[in-house]
Structure 1
Amino acid sequence: MILDLDRLQALRDCCADEAAFIRLQKVLAIAQFNRPAENRRTSVDYPAPADHPAQPQESRGSRLLQGVAEATGQLLMGDDYNEAIARALAILGKTTGVDRVHIFTIEPHPETGEPVANQKLEWVRESITAHIHNPAFQSFSFSSPSATEWYRAIAAGQIVSGLTREMPPEEQECLLAQDILAILVVPIRIDSELWGFIGFDDCRTERQWSQDEKAALSMMAASIGGAIARQQAVTALRQSESRLKKIASNVPGMIYQFLYQANGVRQVLYASSGCQELLELDPQAVQADFSLISSLCHPADRDSFEQAIADSAAALEPWNWEGRIVTPSGKLKWVQGFSRPEQQENGGLLWDGVLVDITDRKQVEQNLRESEARYRAMLDASPDLMFRLSRNGRYLDFKGNAASAHVPREAIVGHYLHDVITADVAEMFWHEIQQTLASSELRTCEYSLPEATGLRDYEARIVVSGEDEVLTVVQDVTDRKRVEKELRDSEDRLQSFFNATFETVIIHDFGKIIDVNPAAEQLLGYSTTEMIGMPVMDLVAPSYREAVRRTWQSLTSPDQPYEYEAMGVTKDGTYFFAAVCAKAIHYKGRSVRVAGVRNITERKRTEAAIRQSEARNRALVNAIPDLMFRIGRDGTYLDCKAERDGDVLLPPSQLIGKTVYEVLPPDLAQQRMHYVEQALKTGKIQLFEYQLRLTHNRASQLYRQLTSDQTLSSEVSATRDYEARVVVSGEDEVLAIVRDITERKRVEHQLWASAERDRLLGEIALRIRQSLDLNEILSTAAVEVRYLLQADRVSISHYDANGVSVVVAESVAENVLPTLGSVTDRSIYQEVQTIFERDRVYIVNDTEQTESPPVLKEHYKQYQIKAGIAVPIMPDGQFFGSLVVNQCSSTREWQPFEADLIDRLATQVTIAIQQSQLYQQVQALNAGLEQQVEERTAQLQQKMQELQQLNQLKDEFLNAFSHDLRTPIMGVSLVLKNLLNQSGDIVPITRSIVTRMLQSSEHQLQLINSLLQAHTGETQGIVLHCELMQLGLLTQVILEELEPLVVKNQAMLKNLVPPDLPLVTADPLQLRRVFENLITNALNHNPPGVDLTLSAIVEEEMIRFNFQDNGVGMTQEVSDRLFERYVRGPKSRHSTGIGLGLYLCRQIVTAHGGQIGVYSTPNVGSTFWLTLPLAISSVAQANSQEG
């Protein structure tokens, strides 16, 4: 067996240390050497005799080593994890001669957490009972003493083996039930942790295992553990990759990687899917050609874009640039880029960053600036007076013409209202200021002031402008009536113009006509009465109505003006050409359109005559074979002459009206405009040469450069060399005569192209190998190869172990059927294997003329393949898949240098795949280590928090309990010491002292009993002695007994409990303790004189009691913890308990099936409530009463 470096590394990972790895190598070498030459193959079947005859130890050991080697090879070479382990078990079973081989996992039970074993895989010999589906071997517990010993042994890494008859009775019973006479169990560990075990059962003979056999099987268990660990790592890596892809696709804007090589080459290594939405460019196209991005930059922002990149590269500072781009569809967008450069080992710089659309933000900023400028201009231009006034009527500031105010500025600012204006107006102003500050709303008032020319009227608008100050805008409205009269006169004049103009004017709301002028009657033949209310579309010729509707629907805002030409129709059916210009106005309280309609029928006839004249002149020009362009001073193509559409970038019909900047590459456009300007400036002919790519595909240029002596293809011939002559042909325009000089340039280029071929191949290989992501590697390779060879389709297929292939990467031309994701069966794999065994590069120039197997013929027909070329991809000598180039539009004669190129590129793809696989292994190891550290840290933090809480609870309880026991004991001790100090054998003691000592003892006993009851209730539950009872009577008895305590606390107690409450099933003694505790708590935790109210109602099959007081109350935080153990109420006047009273109340009420709680507000009071279920439901009681 020959193992490559990757599989040797996998074996090393399976071994515990280097010594174990060396032993394994020796085992594999011995196994290979001992195997007969004719049997040294990748799979071996080791038949075992039915009666298991004794074999020499050396022979049995040799067979076992061969089996371990073969099983290990299955684990390393198999693609399917479960199938590989199953095959390995079969090999081990046949090699060792046992009757059953099985694998168990050991994992915590989902409920108890105790370790249990679950059988996952099994191999059995014929006639032996299989246990893989036996439920007894799922969640098998190690709780029995013998099973526990087995678990401890395998958990410690020990091998368990023996004969059934020599084992303890309990183990014999378990094993004999499975017909097992001898057993061997080997632990399987992953990352030094016990994962499970592999077992070997002999059911027909008693077998003794040697130490060498155990060592070999232990090594086999380590190999299985390594295979399982690798499978787990692969699964985790795929999940991580899926999450990252989802994150990148959901990030707004475009995430990218940009590389600036030391030789000046710039390239986008990665562009997220947001590239399509933001730039209207395919991410793969951007990755293939960085100039696509730079060409989008607005001409005014291109220099800043390049300078920002240069500054970031020079200073290694983050790149942050804002600028405009023009997308391929013509949209103008503002974008902002953020990235941070990272110096590469090869001297290049790598930026990781994001490009986002900030068009909306820029528009908002521009609107704000314009709005601010407008308001500032309005403020500066406003003739109104403005005053800032304080709450007390003091002038804080003043804006306006001093002459308009009729008072000097120094006589206003700093003075008060009564100092500047009359008393009555000052009083009115002061009142309005107070109202404005109170309501924060605009207030308006009018007033009059006497002046030298007489009494003038003013209007003041008052608004809050700051804390305790207002802004007052004062306007002189004396001339308002005069202005209103002038406005009415102006409206009359406009109406007269509307009626007198010769141009037709129609006011409409896109549906009905609202008004027309008299000129409309003359043009259209309708009367004004007939047209008002008529659908405006009735005035449009039927053939033009849809075009007019589209013009209206294209409006982006209600106020957007529009212009168009259409055919109109009069009342008598006469058609005429009309030019329509419309704007939005407000007419009689609503937004409408006023449209001016001009009859341009005569102009259209004149234009037709001019076009005929131009046609004659164009015929003369067409006789000249050179290309001709009329270009305006601003670079607009006015006319174009070309024999074929393919001679120019765009057909003449699409070219005319565009500028050279829209049609030509930026550098060529600037060159052409330079000579246009020189011709117009000097009046002399301008002569220059240039090269033009008639397609926008970068790969066309690369392919043209790589082609040397071969005839240029039709695709390559689209790149031509030209000589241009520019001469003035009219005012502000030139005539450019362009001649094709491609053939002359082609000869010069051939010598240079050969030297460039190898350099370009190296660059493409570098782009393929710059990524470690396998999908990106394959996609980049497909794109680059198709661009390089100008093919219709390039695909990469991957074949699995069963020979099924899937197209995992593809690049296709437009209108070509895609094959990405398509699956083929094993029949094609067999043909592909045969082909690649015969030819390293498989070339088909014409699929119709080439003899091919039927399955390939069907494949060619299904995917419209006319010609193709394919090479295998074989990382580590293993067949991974194939790189296939298809020509679908026509047949193709593949050149030898093309076959060499595709073969060399396949080698680069193979190297990149190997790099990606190695990177994935490293990433998996790093992810596993990080996860383990995070889990251990979280566990430690949780344990520390639990210990802190337990410690705090212990301190609180000891402090409270020691205080409450020490206080009465110290009192009793002090009394006894005083009595002991008295003389005589008999000490007189009063009854009151004995009473106090007895009360103190009873209080201590009560504290201890409460603690014991709380503990008993917590561990064993509250014991109830329930009976049917009437709570109204119990409540009355309890209140009577507590009457002395109520009087002592000067409290007022109201009993609102109805005497006819329904019966409940409860323990009277326990409920008495609850009621007494709640009432005494209310008395002890509130000042004397508190009012208590006890009430009860029946709701939802429960009786609800409320204990309400108007005492000091408590916060929500205290209320939430009040029923917990050892928690005492705040501000207690008699803190003699240890915080168990309310805790016991909750246990008692809960044991009865009810609930207890409290609502409280500080300084308002508290309401304790509890609920108890009815003994008989209210429905049943009602039915019994009716009966």
Structure 2
Amino acid sequence: MILDLDRLQALRDCCADEAAFIRLQKVLAIAQSNRPAENRRISADHFAAADPHHTQPQESRGSRLLQGVAEATGQLLMGDDYNEAIARALAILGKTTGVDRVHIFTIEPHPETGEPVANQKLEWVRESITAHIHNPAFQSFSFSSPSATEWYRAIAAGQIVSGLTREMPPEEQECLLAQDILAILVVPIRIDSELWGFIGFDDCRTERQWSQDEKAALSMMAASIGGAIARQQAVTALRQSESRLKKIAANVPGMIYQFLYRTNGVRQVLYASSGCQELLELDPQAVQADFSLISSLCHPADRDSFEQAIADSAAALEPWNWEGRIVTPSGKLKWVQGFSRPEQQENGDLLWDGVLVDITDRKQVEQNLRESEARYRAMLDASPDLMFRLSRNGRYLDFKGNAASAHVPREAIVGHYLHDVITADVADMFWQEIQQTLASGELRTCEYSLPEATGLRDYEARIVVSGEDEVLTVVQDVTDRKRVERELRESEDRLQIFFNATFETVIIHDFGKIIDVNPAAEQLLGYSTAEMIGMPVMDLVAPSHREAVSRTWQSLTSPNQPYEYEAMGVRKDGTYFFAAVCAKAIHYKGRSVRVAGVRNITERKRTEAAIRQSEARNRALVNAIPDLMFRISRDGTYLDCKAERDGDVLLPPSQLIGKTVYEVLPPELAQQRMHYVEQALETGKIQLFEYQLRLTHNRASRLYRQLTSDQPTPSEASATRDYEARVVVSGEDEVLAIVRDITERKRVEHQLWASAERDRLLGEIALRIRQSLDLKAILSTAAVEVRYLLQADRVSISHYDENGVSVVVAESVAENVLPTLGSVMDRSIYDEVKAIFERDRIYIVNDTEQTESPPVLKEYYKHYQIKAGIAVPIMPDGQFFGSLVVNQCSSTREWQPFEADLIDRLATQVTIAIQQSQLYQQVQALNAGLEQQVEERTAQLQQKMQELQQLNQLKDEFLNAFSHDLRTPIMGVSLVLKNLLNQSGDIVPITRSIVTRMLQSSEHQLQLINSLLQAHMGETQGVVLHCELIQLGLLTQVILEELEPLVVKNQATLKNLVPPDLPLVTADPLQLRRVFENLITNALNHNPPGVDLTISARVEEEMIRFNFQDNGVGMSQEVSDRLFERYVRGPKSRHSTGIGLGLYLCRQIITAHGGQIGVYSAPNVGSTFWLTLPLAISSVAQANLQED
């Protein structure tokens, strides 16, 4: 085995002395010589090859043990991992020695008691042997037993302990046999001459006797282990030290630096710690790059001293120590101190290692100290106490005081001796005190009295050494204090009287003996005062309580700490009583003792026991009650809470206590609860109220919740509860609130009430539905009431006719919901609906997306955004009338059974109402038929009478107009003829103009007669038409050209806007010409000259529409309405002629063609006459023909 110098030194450190080191070297040499040449390293397997329990010669066994010790020592010296090295060493030792178990224990003080205890740290065991490394009995193993104490003393003295189990005392045998140990060897492990622990060797199968050589070898092994442990501790300490140094460098309140001063004058900072940033407000790298940054920070007044200090340190190679001010880049003024020691390098450069720290606070403290010193000096000067400096021989060296306090002038004191100033007896005492003070060097205190003019004054002097062979004496006038002390003694006398007179037992003791008692103690304890004085105070304590009392005394942390406790006392006659003891420390007759007041609380204890039993019964009753209980203060703070489960309350009790009701409950409920708390505290009477904690149901109205009890979802059910609270005063400014969950009771009550309310409301709704006999009103009322009751989005009623076509005849919808009123569905949906109702009386869909439905219904749901629905048939007299449908469009809906039943019952009421309405309508129809016949006949008679009156009026107007129109031309012709007859001769000359006028008059008369005949023929036989295909654009153009002279004559303007390519019509061209001419001449004749007339035409819905628009005088609506009647003439004008049949004939002609004619007019605006004629060929067919 070859050891390097470091390991050899470590081996030397493991040995207790040089002789032990030499012996260990010999052991290693023997182990080296006994190894095979090819392998000098002894492994654990080598020792395992031999049977350790075979009898071997002592010399062979000793040699093998030395080899094992050497190998184990080598493991400790060469192993890198400390724990693994020791574990391998234990294995080698176990297999070398042949024992069954090797273990290492540490011995260290107990963390609480300080007594030494053993803790097992490492262990090696042979197979089949029980390991104890995890046995808790070997952790904090105490040496308190006598046998364990002997073992500890031997180990602590450095002795090896060994022996056979059967030869040991019974107590030790029991402990060892529990571990199957037949023989044991324990070797102490010491580190730096201090006991660290021990290594033990257990034989569990043989009774082994250990030789002295084996013990010596194992002792050296223990020393090696101790050395390895010490080395490991040193390494750990070194690592911790390095870690601390790194932390110190990072956290030191300043900057650590290395400064290099080269021979060529260059100065450079080689290293600057991170404190540079905080101290100088400069980056360390910047300082290392440029030293001038530091010198530039120096205060101008201190820069020269900074440079001079560096130069002086470099010249003398003395430490650099400089204090000065710097100004940081931010403008802060700081005091800094630098200290470093120069080292001259081989090349002549100087290297300083040092630290630069901020001493601004210290400078401030120094300034404060100077100011403080000045203040203290002022205070000292202001102190009224006298101060004297006295030499050893009693001579006054100095004096501080004034004449008022010393009563003697200063010059009469300084330089004189004690006997010259004060009385002889006091001077002798002072001289003795001065000698003792100088001899002991300790403060001494003495008191004395001096006569003065005002009487005898008392003084206290404190003497302390103030220099070589001199003392300082501070003298204080204690006359007033002495007076107070006398008064205190008098007070003590009065207290003694109280002590003797009080009814409460008082015992004065020193924790051991009773020093004094009062007479009340004799009555309580049965002893006389003489018997109790000197008695152990613990004799008055019942045996079962003495240990507890002793622990109370031992727990006191200071001599003057008071204490209180309750314990059972024992009287002289052996009877027991409960006592409450309250004790305090006092000075009694010059001694520090305890005065204990003892009160007999036996009756109180009995009462408390009875109260506890009562409380236990009450608590059992309270715990058996499932109600919640809260203690609440006046301000609403929860003081306590009782709940079977945390889920019964809004917060767990641990979180609830300490909070206020305003922090826990909703604001309205918190206000309600605090109202009843205040009422209970003010009146003292129990307050009873109910409340509910529940979630808001957004979709349910209050009425609906009342009717349905609105069964909540599982998530809502856990948060919606009904409670009954009883509030009663339970103490000063606090109440007890007992809260009972009445949710189930409320639910049952609500269900009963809701059922009755549903029946009542159903009756009211049925009554409202059946109040009207109007079918439309019945259905509308039913839809509104059902939607309000169920809070649905849409309620509709559909009616199916005999062909299966459905129409929504009544509906009530919410806002933003698509209405279906008036919508029509073909027979396909009728077949689906009828099939559904034949299968199910009530059709329920909770989710249209999830329910299988016919495609036609799916499309219906999608179109009208239906998410859920329910429908029932309406079947008056067994006939399928239609259906009552309820839709939910905003979301899906879980329809409740009572809702389905409610809709079914409402449908029945609607059916009854429909039947009543139908019966009523039949009766009404019969009545109405008779009434209508009477009314019709009456109306017909009235109409005939009115028509006769109108005809008479029209006849008068017609005859008047007709006679006027006929008389004018006849009178003209008659005058002409008379003029001609008046001329002489048989032949009368007639001019062409006269003949022309006579012809025009005759034609006008003929036209009037023809109009009359045509009107009569149109009424009796109808208008006779000779139809042909006509192009109206061309016809219009021809008519306008013919009427051009008439337009010019009336100074009118005529615009033809009729398209030339109008579609063909089938019509009578002569009759249409008559209509067009009549409308145009009417516009010219009934308006003043200069009128503008526009004719236009367009195709509208298989008809051609003509407009004849003028800007003339117009007419009223009343005239317009009667304008196309027979014998009605237009507004009067100078151009008005005719008998009022023109427009009447126009209407007959246009009507005969299958068209219509009318007028739009207003006074002073003009008139627009319009007419329509059907196309000969439809526009679609005509378009196809044009494409072809």
Q: Provide the TM-score with structure 2 as the length reference.
A: 0.29
Specify the alignment match of 1:60 in structure 2.
61
Deviations 1:1090-1137 (A, max 9, x none): 999999999999999999999999999999999999999999999999
Q: How far apart are residue 134 of structure 1 and its match?
A: 1.4
Deviation, 1:237, is: 3.8
Report the Cα offset of residue 420 of structure 1. Answer: 53
**Taking structure 1 as reference, are residues 133 and 811 closer, same or farther at Cα in structure 2, changes over 3 Å only?**
farther
- Bigger shift: 464-473 or 119-128? 464-473
Q: After superposition, what is the alpha-carbon deviation per residue over 1:196-243, rounded to whole angstroms, capped at 9, x for unaligned?
A: 110011111222222222111111101111122223333334444444
Displacement after TM superposition at 1:168 (Å): 3.3
Cα offset, 1:274, TM superposition: 0.9
Counterparts in 2 of 1:1166 and 1:947: CA distance versus 1, 3 Å:
closer
Instruction: Measure how far apart 1:171 and its partner are.
Output: 2.7
CA 705–963 in structure 1, closer or farther in 2 if over 3 Å, else same: closer
Q: Is the 8 A contact 1:649 1:694 kept in 2?
A: no
Question: 2-side partners of 1:148 and 1:341: how far apart?
Answer: 59
Q: 1:429 to 1:274 in 2, by over 3 A?
A: same
* Greater displacement, 1042-1051 / 341-350: 1042-1051
Please tell me whether the aligned partners of residues 161 and 187 of structure 2 are also in contact (alpha carbons under 8 angstroms).
yes
Deviations 1:580-637 (Å, cap 9, x if unpaired)? 9999999999999999999999999999999999999999999999999999999999
- Structure 2 vs 1, CA of residues 520 and 101 (structure 1 numbering), >3 Å: closer, same or farther? closer
**1:279-328, Cα deviation, whole Å (9 max, x unpaired):** 56664786698677568889999876543311233356664557898999
CA contact (8 A) 1:237 1:920 kept: no
Residues in 2 aligned to 1:430 and 1:1131: alpha-carbon distance in whole angstroms: 162
CA contact (8 A) 1:578 1:600 kept: yes
The secondary structure found in structure 2 opposite 1:714 is: helix
> For residues 1128 and 612 of structure 2, what CA distance do their matches in structure 1 show?
102
Residue in structure 2 matched with residue 243 of structure 1 by the alignment? 244
Compare 307-316 and 366-375 and name the one that shifted more: 366-375
Q: Is the 8 A contact 2:42 2:67 kept in 1?
A: no
Q: Is the 8 A contact 2:695 2:716 kept in 1?
A: no
Deviation of 1:102 after TM superposition, in Å, equals 0.3
- The verdict on how the C-alpha distance between 1:448 and 1:606 changes in structure 2, with shifts beyond 3 A counting, is closer
Q: Is residue 44–residue 91 contact of structure 2 (8 Å, CA) maintained in 1?
A: no
DSSP-derived class of the 2:180 partner: coil
SS in 2 for 1:415: coil
CA distance in 2, matches of 1:436, 1:1054: 150
Seen in structure 2, the aligned counterparts of structure 1 residues 233 and 101 have a Cα distance that, compared at 3 Å, is same
Compute the displacement of 1:188 (Å).
0.4
CA 1:656–1:802 in 2, change beyond 3 Å: closer, same or farther? farther
- Of stretches 701-710 and 550-559 in structure 1, the one that deviates more from structure 2 is 701-710
Partner of 1:213, secondary structure, is: helix
Q: 1:1134 to 1:10 in 2, by over 3 A?
A: farther
Q: CA RMSD in A?
A: 60.6
Q: CA deviation at 1:185?
A: 0.9
Q: Deviations over 1:87-112 (max 9, x none)?
A: 21112112222110001112233344
Shift of 1:40: 2.4
CA distance in 2, matches of 1:310, 1:514: 79
Task: Give the 3 Å change call, closer, same or farther, for CA 27–312 of structure 1 in structure 2.
Answer: same
Q: Deviations over 1:167-207 (max 9, x none)?
A: 33333332222111221111101111111110011111222
Could you say if the C-alpha distance between residues 474 and 48 of structure 1 is closer, same or farther in structure 2, counting changes exceeding 3 Å? Answer: closer
Q: CA deviation at 1:666?
A: 77
Q: Whole-Å Cα distance in 2 between the matches of residues 235 and 76 of structure 1?
A: 16
Task: For residue 65 of structure 1, report the CA deviation from its aligned partner.
Answer: 2.1
Structure 1 residues 448 and 502: alpha-carbon distance in aligned structure 2, compared to 1, 3 A threshold: closer
Distance verdict in 2 for CA 1:807–1:436, change over 3 Å: farther
Q: Which residue of 1 aligns with 2:933?
A: 932
- Partner of residue 689, structure 2: 688
User: Which residue in the other structure is 2:3 paired with?
Assistant: 3
Find the residue that maps to 1:533 and give its secondary structure: coil
CA distance in 2, matches of 1:1138, 1:600: 139
Is 1:1070–1:1148's contact at 8 Å kept on the other side of the alignment? yes
Contact 1:237 1:924 in 2 (8 A): no
Q: Deviations over 1:498-521 (max 9, x none)?
A: 999999999999999999999999
Cα deviations by residue, 1:459-516 (Å, 9 ceiling, x for unpaired): 9999999999999999999999999999999999999999999999999999999999
Distance in 1 separating the partners of 2:766 and 2:268: 14
Once the 2 structures are TM-superposed, how far is the Cα of residue 122 of structure 1 from its aligned partner?
0.5
Give the conservation status (yes or no) of the 8 Å contact 1:313–1:341. Answer: yes
- The question of whether the paired residues in 2 share the 8 Å contact of 1:701 and 1:719 is answered with no
Larger radius of gyration: 2
CA shift, 1:6, in A, is 1.3
Higher RCO, 1 or 2 (CA under 8 Å, sep at least 6)? 1
Cα-to-partner distance string for 1:109-130 (whole Å, 9 max, x where unaligned): 3344332222111110111000
Q: Does the residue aligned with 1:429 lie in a helix, a strand or coil?
A: helix
Structure 1 window deviating more from structure 2 (355-364 vs 158-167): it is 355-364
Deviation at 1:142, TM superposition (A): 2.5
The aligned residue for residue 790 of structure 1 is: 791
Which deviations, in whole Å up to 9, do the C-alpha atoms of 1:626-666 show, x marking residues without a partner? 99999999999999999999999999999999999999999
Change in 2 beyond 3 A, CA 1:1162/1:201: farther
Alpha-carbon distance change, 922 to 898 in structure 1, aligned in 2, over 3 angstroms: same
CA contact (8 A) 1:695 1:718 kept: no
Pairing of 1:678-757 with structure 2 (within 5 A): none
Give 3-state SS (helix, strand or coil) of 2:195's partner.
Answer: strand
What is the Cα deviation at residue 277 of structure 1?
Answer: 3.8
Distance in structure 2 (CA, Å) of the matches to 1:1009 and 1:464: 168
Residue identity over aligned pairs, in percent, reads: 96
TM superposition shift of 1:804: 90
Seen in structure 2, the aligned counterparts of structure 1 residues 176 and 606 have a Cα distance that, compared at 3 Å, is closer
CA shift, 1:934, in A, is: 136
Q: 1:280 to 1:389 in 2, by over 3 A?
A: same
Change (3 A) 1:1071 1:618: same
Q: CA deviation at 1:681?
A: 105
Q: Distance in 1 between matches of 2:802 and 2:969?
A: 86
SS at match of 1:698: coil
2:704–2:710 contact (8 Å) kept in structure 1: no
**1:998-1039 deviation line (CA, Å, top 9, x unaligned):** 999999999999999999999999999999999999999999
Q: Distance in 2 between matches of 1:415 and 1:998?
A: 185
Match of 1:890 in 2: 891
Quick one: distance in 2 between partners of 1:152 and 1:18? 26
The change in CA–CA distance for 1:913 and 1:30 in structure 2 (over 3 A counts) is farther
**TM-aligned CA deviation for residue 56 of structure 1:** 3.0
Show structure 1 runs of 5+ residues with no match: none
Range 88-97 or range 417-426, more displaced: 417-426
Secondary structure, aligned partner of 1:45: helix
The question of whether the paired residues in 2 share the 8 Å contact of 1:700 and 1:716 is answered with no
Q: 1:754 to 1:259 in 2, by over 3 A?
A: farther
Structure 1 residues 346-355 or 633-642, which shifts more?
633-642
- When residues 945 and 1024 of structure 1 are mapped into structure 2, their CA distance, relative to the original with a 3 A threshold, is closer
Q: Is the 8 A contact 1:163 1:207 kept in 2?
A: yes
**d(CA) in 2 for partners of 1:146, 1:951:** 158
| Residue in structure 1 matched with residue 558 of structure 2 by the alignment | 557
Cα 1:878–1:1094 change in 2 (3 A) is closer
CA distance in 1, matches of 2:37, 2:866: 46
Q: Which runs of 5+ in 2 are unaligned?
A: none
How many residue pairs are counted as aligned between the two chains? Answer: 1187
- The answer to whether the 8 A contact 1:258-1:269 is kept is yes
Separation in 2, partners of 1:392, 1:1124: 165
Which residue in 1 is equivalent to 2:14?
14
Are the structure 2 counterparts of residues 144 and 707 from structure 1 closer, same or farther at C-alpha, using a change threshold of 3 Å?
same
Q: Is the 8 A contact 2:187 2:219 kept in 1?
A: yes
Q: Which residue of 2 aligns with 1:636?
A: 637
Secondary structure at the residue paired with 2:46?
coil
Mapped to 2, the partners of 1:471 and 1:559 lie a distance apart of 34
Higher alpha-carbon deviation: 165-174 or 188-197 = 165-174
For residue 150 of structure 1, report the CA deviation from its aligned partner. Answer: 2.0
Distance 1:777 1:1011 in 2: 58
Aligned to 1:1050, what secondary structure does the other structure show? coil
Distance 1:960 1:325, change over 3 A: farther
- Output the CA distance in 1 between the equivalents of 2:131 and 2:983: 94
Secondary structure (helix, strand or coil) at the match of 2:479 reads: coil
- Contact persistence 2:253–2:357 (CA under 8 A): yes
Cα deviation per residue 1:714-771 (whole Å; 9 max; x = unaligned)?
9999999999999999999999999999999999999999999999999999999999
Deviates more, 1:123-132 or 1:460-469: 460-469
